[in-house]
């Protein structure tokens, strides 16, 4: 058996999420179908982090095992000829059996993209979240620092979250503005369900001036999801990258070069 790791990029608008499901079209389902065609055998892929319906992937990582011997180009260019235009393989790298896309990842990073101007953009529809009210990115960034470190994020987990607990470690939380775009970048060892979108909704309340900077930390301490703001829509969220030990020699993604 040969194990390959792939970099995957996708627009999640047309899919019911990453995970293969029998009743709807998924990113995993499309990718497995394409790779199975190339390999001429059934391929099952494992990803670094599953994304919900409408969420996009910039640097998703998967791995799969195959008995087929194919050149590097078959898993990239060949697979792309079989995939719909909103899903692409960006790189392929053969790895040893010790690599696992999910369990070998040391951290994951997401970016929530807000298009912040008075009128929405037709070109960015479905790719960013539009917010008409001016946002104070500096206030949002200050508020977000209260969420750093290993803490209980029960106030920011979805009611249907199946994780055993809300304990997670946020290693980076940065809110920045680039002209009309406000970015919320969050890196953590792992995430509970809807954690990034719930944090984004809370920080936008602070950015609008509807809540004080201290509110994010206060919500965290409450450990009560019912006290936090609504979940931010899926279209602004991107799975940016997964972080692995250097020993695997996987390609590294320069985020700001390829995303607003």
The DSSP result for 148-172, as a single string, is: -EEEE-GGGS-TT---S--EEEEEE
pLDDT at residue number 173: 97
Cα separation, 258 vs 49, in Å, equals 20
Which residues have a Cβ under 8 Å from the Cβ of 110 and sit 6 or more positions away? Answer: 185, 186, 187, 191, 196, 237, 238, 239, 240
Catalytic site residue from 25, 44, 52, 180: 52
Give the CA distances from residue 2 to residues 76, 97, 202, 242, in Å, rounded to whole numbers and listed in that order: 16, 8, 45, 22
Tens-place pLDDT, residues 68-116: 999 999 999 999 999 999 999 999 999 999 999 999 999 999 999 999 9
The residue range of the domain holding 61 is 2-104
Say which residue the tokens 């301490």 belong to: 221
Q: Which residues of 167-182 are buried (b: 16+ CB within 10 A; e: fewer)?
A: ebebeebebebeeebb
Q: Is position 180 annotated as part of the catalytic site?
A: no
Instruction: List the one residue out of 95, 88, 90, 28 whose CA is nearest residue 66.
Output: 95
CB atoms within 10 A of CB 71: 10
Same domain, 98 and 52: yes
Q: Bridge-partner residues for 241, per DSSP? A: 109
Examine residue 143 and state whether it is found in any structural domain, yes or no: yes
**Residue after which a domain boundary falls, among 83, 104, 125:** 104
How deeply is 67 buried, as exposed, middle or buried, from its count of CB atoms within 10 A (0-12, 13-18, 19+)? exposed
- State the binding site for substrate: 110
Same domain, 17 and 47: yes
Say whether pLDDT at 228 is over 80: no
Same domain, 80 and 175: no
pLDDT band at 256 (very low <50, low <70, confident <90, very high): low
Query: What's the whole-model pTM score?
Result: 0.94
What are the structure tokens assigned to 87, written together?
């899903």
Tens-place pLDDT, residues 37-47: 999 999 999 99
**Residue-averaged pLDDT of the chain:** 93
The CATH number that applies at residue 87 is 3.30.70.580
CB atoms within 10 A of CB 225: 19
pLDDT band at 183 (very low <50, low <70, confident <90, very high): very high
Counted domains in the chain: 2
- State the binding site: 110
pLDDT at residue number 95: 96
């Amino acid at each position: 058996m040969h194990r390959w790791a792939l970099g995957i990029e996708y627009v999640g608008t047309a899919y019911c999420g990453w995970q293969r499901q029998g009743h709807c079209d998924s990113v995993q389902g499309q990718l497995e179908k394409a790779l199975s065609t190339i390999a001429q055998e059934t391929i099952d892929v494992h990803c670094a982090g599953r994304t919900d319906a409408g969420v996009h992937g910039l640097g998703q990582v998967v791995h799969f095992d195959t008995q087929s011997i194919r050149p590097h180009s078959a898993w990239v260019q060949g697979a792309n000829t079989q995939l719909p235009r909103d899903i692409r393989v960006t790189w392929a790298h053969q790895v040893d059996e010790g690599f696992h896309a999910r369990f070998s990842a040391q951290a994951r990073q997401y970016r929530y993209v807000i298009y912040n101007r008075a009128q929405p953009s037709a070109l960015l529809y479905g790719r960013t979240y539009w917010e008409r009210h001016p946002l104070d990115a500096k206030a949002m960034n200050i508020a977000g620092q209260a969420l750093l470190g290993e803490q209980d994020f029960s106030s920011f987990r979805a009611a249907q979250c199946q994780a055993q607990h809300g304990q997670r470690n946020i290693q980076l939380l940065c809110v920045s503005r680039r002209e009309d775009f406000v970015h919320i970048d969050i890196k953590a060892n792992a995430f509970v369900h809807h954690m990034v979108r719930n944090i984004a909704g809370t920080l936008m309340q602070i950015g609008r001036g509807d809540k004080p900077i201290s509110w994010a930390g206060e919500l965290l301490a409450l450990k009560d999801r019912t006290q936090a703001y609504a979940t931010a829509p899926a279209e602004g969220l991107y799975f940016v990258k997964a972080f692995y030990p250097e020993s695997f020699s996987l390609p590294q993604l320069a985020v700001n070069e390829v995303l607003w």
